[in-house]
Structure 1
Amino acid sequence: MKKTREVVTALGLGLVVMAGSLAAQTVPLKDVAEVRNGIIYVGMAYEISEQCDSISARIFRGIGFLQSLKNRARALGYSGEEIDDYVNDPEEKRRLEQIARDQLAALGVIKGQPATYCAVGRAQMDAGTRVGWLLR
Structure 2
Amino acid sequence: MIVGILFALCAGLFVGVQGIFNRHVNMKVSSWAATAFILATGSIASLVVGLLLDGTAIFNFSDMKPAYWLFGLVGIGVIFCTMTAMRKIGPTKTIVIGVIAQLTTSMIFDMTGFLVLPKVTLEWTHIAGLLLMIVGIYLFNYQKKETNA
TM-score normalized with structure 1 length = 0.31
Structure showing greater relative contact order (alpha-carbon pairs closer than 8 Å, 6 or more residues apart)? 1
TM-score normalized with structure 2 length = 0.29
